[in-house]
Amino acid sequence: MIEERLEHLDNQFLESLFKNVCISLFEKDKMIFSFLLCLKLSELRGELDPAELKFLLTGGVALGADYGEKPAPWIDDKVWGELNRACDCKAMKTFLPHFKAKVGIYQQLFESKEPHLWEFPEDATMLNAFRKLLVIRALRPDKLVPSISAYIVDQIGEFYIKPPTFELASIFLDSRNISPLIFVLSPGSDPL
């Protein structure tokens, strides 16, 4: 009973926070905000390993380390290096042997037109939703953004990738004579 109420409170607040903050963000930054929310929530649940996040953001630093022989010819040096560095994270250690064993299956991901919708093999249990992003980053960096968008939907729901439409009437209610609305316009946009 109380748990239900708490969950409701959490969701209600998150939704309202997102709506109200989004009003003041540039379009390009809205998804970053959603992603930050996801990351924060997963950090609070104790599920986020900072090393994994660091890899996602930077791809790790190539120090000319020798990562051994590549298991298949379609893997180039850059992909192989990133994959190995991703697997340096604690929870990813077991992914490398798994990848080597299933390299044929992962070739499908590498060649897929829609890698963000690709289903990982069932026995890739070491990968949670976030770690799958690391693999995507290594294999298909071109589709990382749609993958992150899918991750946000999976974590907190579709609402958070569809920023609320601009409604002047409701925003106007938040303004007062001492807290005015300020519009930052770019050519071609008209808030009215």
Partner 1 sequence: MITYQGLTDQLLGIVVAKENPDLEDKKANLVRESAETKRQLANTEAQILKTLNEVQDILGDDNAIMILDNASALSKDIAKKQEKAKVTEKEIDDKRTEYKPVALKTAGLFFCVQELAFIDPMYQYSLPFFINLFEISIA
The interface region with partner 1, picked from 16-24, 75-83, 126-134, 149-157 by CB under 8 A, is 16-24
Which are the contacts of 61, defined by CB distance < 8 A and separation ≥ 6? 85
Which range binds partner 1 by CB under 8 A, 6-14, 61-69, 112-120, 135-143?
Answer: 6-14
Tokens 């064993």, residue located: 101
Spell out, one character per residue from 60 to 99, where the chain touches partner 1: x when CB under 8 A holds, - when not: ----------------------------------------
Asked whether position 14 contacts partner 1 by CB under 8 A, the answer is yes
Collect all residues with Cβ–Cβ distance below 8 Å to 71 and sequence separation of at least 6: 99, 100, 103
- C-alpha dihedral (61, 63, 66, 70), degrees to nearest 10: 30
Return the structure tokens found at 130: 């976030």
Q: Rule CB under 8 A: say whether 183 interacts with partner 1.
A: no
Around Cβ 30, how many Cβ atoms within 10 Å? 18
Decide if residue 5 touches partner 1 (CB under 8 A): yes
As given in the structure block, the two tokens for residue 126 are 């070491």
Query: Of 23-52, which residues contact partner 1 (CB under 8 A)?
Result: 24-26, 29, 32-33, 36-37, 39-41, 43-44
For the bound state, the minimum distance from the C-beta of residue 13 to partner 1, rounded and expressed in Å, comes to: 4
What is the residue type of 50? P
What's the min distance (Å) between Cβ of 44 and partner 1? 5
- Residue 45 tokens, joined: 């649940």
Q: Which CB, 15 or 112, lies closer to partner 1?
A: 15
Q: What is the dihedral of CA 172, 175, 180, 182, to 10 degrees?
A: -40
Nearer to partner 1 by C-beta: 9 or 168?
9
21 touches partner 1 by CB under 8 A: yes
One-letter identity of residue 90 = K
Residue 79: name the closest of 138, 147, 143 by CA.
138
Residue numbers of the site for partner 1 (CB under 8 A)? 2, 5-6, 9-10, 12-17, 20-21, 24-26, 29, 32-33, 36-37, 39-41, 43-44, 184
